[in-house]
Amino acid sequence: MADDNCIFCQISDGQDPNSVLEVETDEFVIFQDIKPASEHHYLAVTKKHYASLKDLNKTHDQLVQRMESALKEFLAGKGIPIDDALFGFHLPPFITVKHLHMHAIAPRTQMTFLSRLIFRPSVWFKTADEARSYISEKE
């Protein structure tokens, strides 16, 4: 299951000494993004290696929901307002690490100009809700 050349496989498997796992479940882990797009930026990364949202289908709806809920719960637990946060996924080819990860960025209103472009809901960035409707159409 784990790919030795994939950094997110290593991190989610607890093998990267430089990464602090903030949350760990049977399915995914949550840790800080090394290139924050705003004051707070975390990633929920599946333990199973999926290259991207394109590898998911409608059977993964609950997984995406659980990743989003866990990120929201985690941010809320740190006192970070989730109504000003952005949750979502990049689609190929605009992906830096080819292992499924959901971004949680807050405050959304304080993102830099470049980050706003990179994370602008569009054909290459899907919010958590858009991601769920995207995979719901796939068998």
- Active site positions, annotated: 101
CA distances from 112 to 94, 109, 138 (A): 18, 9, 34
Q: What is the rounded CA–CA span in Å between residue 44 and residue 70?
A: 8
Site string for Zn ion, 54-73 (x = CB under 5 A): --------------------
CB nearer Zn ion, residue 66 or residue 98: 98
Q: Check the CA dihedral 90-96-101-105 and report its sign.
A: negative
Give the per-residue contact string, 15-54, with Zn ion (x = CB under 5 A; - = no).
----------------------------------x-----
Nearest to Zn ion of 47, 75 (CB atom) = 47
